[in-house]
Amino acid sequence: MATLPIKKSSPSLFGGAMIIGGTIIGAGMFSLPVVMSGAWFYWSIVTLIFTWFCMLHSGLMILEANLNYRIGSSFSTITKDLLGNGWNIINGITLAFVLYILTYAYISASGSIIQHAMREVSIDFSPGLAGFLFALVVAFIVWLSTKTVSRMTSIILGAKVLTFFMTFGGLVYNIKPAVLFNTTEVNPTYWPYILMTLPFCLASFGYHGNVPSLMKYYGKEPEKIKRCLFIGTSMALVLYLIWLVGTMGNISRPDFVEIIAKGGNIDVLVQSLSGGLNSSALGLLLTLFSNFAVASSFLGVTLGLFDYLADLLKFDDTKLGRFKTALVTFLPPMVGGMIYPNGFIHAIGFAGLAATVWAAIVPALLARASRKRFGSPVYRVWGGNVMIGLILLFGVLNAAAHILSNFNLLPVYS
């Protein structure tokens, strides 16, 4: 009697979409209402949707190039082969810079949140010291093993999801339409503040290093991976839009001036939201959610930086080797956190500038080079050279926005 071959089932679409969504959604979302307060609600929606569109298509361009290589080929391998060693070095440097600057950002954020939590129980704690001690705990977890990080991340992610739904429900329930649509301000101007928001939006949609991982997960199934990228990035977009509704619907545009003046760190935003809602329970949920959001992002980013540096510096996986890697990973940003504890917003902006290279410019160049060499027979992103040009323009706009902002050549809402 003949037996039918058993077809191995492909991993679910949900799993891949959650990998993308989970990678994107993190503590960086706390910077969005602060930096977008000048452009306010309508223009912020337009900017976020435009960024989502460009970042989705730049990820699809990495997929297009990746499909011409064996499964398991890294982003670095593809870049080196198609664009040469020069671009690969630039790509590597900007990737390391982003991971370092995000590590510093989360040390800064954790310090401010811990200080805020301690104040609630009448304990005075400096944000620099709080961030330093929290970073030591994270460094110890990362030093132990990747398995330990995975377990801790799973626990924190579950807590983050739970507090997320409870917090956002409370925020949306309490929104005030007059505040959200800024009906009381006389002759407000919004458009001059749009350009400066771009690098922060870009930094809030970073997932591109996961595209080769999805090909390992699903095999060469472009349509399934394409749907994963669409669903995962769309989840993040919808969440960010709800977050803007919840924050801008509860804090008036003029009130954001004081938040910006205080540095715009997470604790300042949470404190302002809690005060405006007059709800101690919702204030507690906001504090818990911000803690879990920072902790999960912190663990994910530092593990990525740890593995990257271990491979780059050829440190072995022994306790001593992992200690060396942990030292190189955590010491520079920890020192930065002690010297300048309130740099969360600035750090996210710098991350957006560096991420412009490997999340916009390099993917567009990879797609162009891939089409010239292989013809991209398996999958090709729609739009031809016009789409490649749009993604390159998006990258240049982001870089220009950050550079102009640093030289005080862009208007600042204050």
What is the band of 230 on the pLDDT scale with cuts at 50, 70, 90? very high
Residues 6+ apart with CB under 8 A from 270: 113, 116, 283, 286, 287, 290
Taking the C-alpha atoms of residue 324 and residue 82, their distance in angstroms, rounded to an integer, is: 33
Residue 376: count other Cβ atoms within 10 Å of its Cβ.
17
pLDDT given at position 5: 46
In a domain, 261, yes or no: yes
pLDDT given at position 164: 82
In a domain, 141, yes or no: yes
Query: For the residues 67-84, what does the mean pLDDT come to?
Result: 87
CATH number at residue 316: 1.20.1740.10
Residue 6 has pLDDT above 60, yes or no: no
In a domain, 144, yes or no: yes
Q: Which residue has the tokens 């040009």?
A: 389
Query: For the residues 223-247, what does the mean pLDDT come to?
Result: 93
- Radius of gyration of the chain from its Cα atoms, rounded to whole angstroms: 22
In a domain, 413, yes or no: no
Residue 370 has pLDDT above 90, yes or no: yes
Asked if 328 and 99 count as a contact pair (C-beta separation under 8 A), the reply is no
One-letter-per-residue 3-state SS of the chain: CCCCCCCCCCCCHHHHHHHHHHHHCCHHHHHHHHHCCCCHHHHHHHHHHHHHHHHHHHHHHHHHHHCCCCCCCCHHHHHHHHHCHHHHHHHHHHHHHHHHHHHHHHHHHHHHHHHHHHHHCCCCCCHHHHHHHHHHHHHHHHHHCHHHHHHHHHHHHHHHHHHHHHHHHHHHHCCCHHHHCCCCCCCCCCHHHCHHHHHHHHHCCCCHHHHHHHHHHHCCCHHHHHHHHHHHHHHHHHHHHHHHHHHHCCCCCCHHHHHHHCCCCHHHHHHHHHHHHCCHHHHHHHHHHHHHHHHHHHHHHHHHHHHHHHHHHCCCCCHHHHHHHHHHHHHHHHHHHHHCCCCHHHHHHHHHHHHHHHHHHHHHHHHHHHHHHCCCCCCCCCCHHHHHHHHHHHHHHHHHHHHHHHCCCCCCCC
pLDDT given at position 9: 62
pLDDT given at position 8: 53
Residue 280 dihedral angles phi and psi, to the nearest 5°: -65, -35
> Considering the entire predicted model, what is its pTM?
0.86
Residue 72 has pLDDT above 80, yes or no: no
- Measured between alpha carbons, how far is residue 397 from residues 88, 187, 344, 391, 405 in Å? 22, 28, 22, 10, 12
Query: For the residues 206-235, what does the mean pLDDT come to?
Result: 88
Lowest-confidence pick of 42-51, 239-248, 303-312, 391-400: 303-312
Q: Which residue has the tokens 């906001």?
A: 286
Taking the C-alpha atoms of residue 163 and residue 289, their distance in angstroms, rounded to an integer, is: 5
In a domain, 317, yes or no: yes
Structure tokens at 255: 């009130």
Q: Provide the domain limits for residue 355.
A: 13-406
CA neighbours closer than 13 Å in the CB half-sphere of residue 223: 1
Residue 378: count other Cβ atoms within 10 Å of its Cβ.
14
Residue 386 has pLDDT above 90, yes or no: yes
Asked if 264 and 31 count as a contact pair (C-beta separation under 8 A), the reply is yes
Query: What single-letter amino acid sits at 218?
Result: Y
Give me the number of domains the chain comprises.
Answer: 1
In a domain, 2, yes or no: no
In a domain, 412, yes or no: no
Residue 372 has pLDDT above 50, yes or no: yes
In a domain, 205, yes or no: yes
Q: What mean pLDDT value characterizes the chain?
A: 87
User: Could you report the per-residue pLDDT of 181-194, keeping only the tens digit for each?
Assistant: 999 998 899 999 99
Lowest-confidence pick of 4-13, 62-71, 240-249: 4-13
Query: For the residues 8-37, what does the mean pLDDT come to?
Result: 82
Residues 6+ apart with CB under 8 A from 150: none
Residue 1 has pLDDT above 60, yes or no: no
Residue 41 has pLDDT above 80, yes or no: yes
Taking the C-alpha atoms of residue 89 and residue 76, their distance in angstroms, rounded to an integer, is: 9
Asked if 48 and 241 count as a contact pair (C-beta separation under 8 A), the reply is yes
Residue 121 has pLDDT above 90, yes or no: no
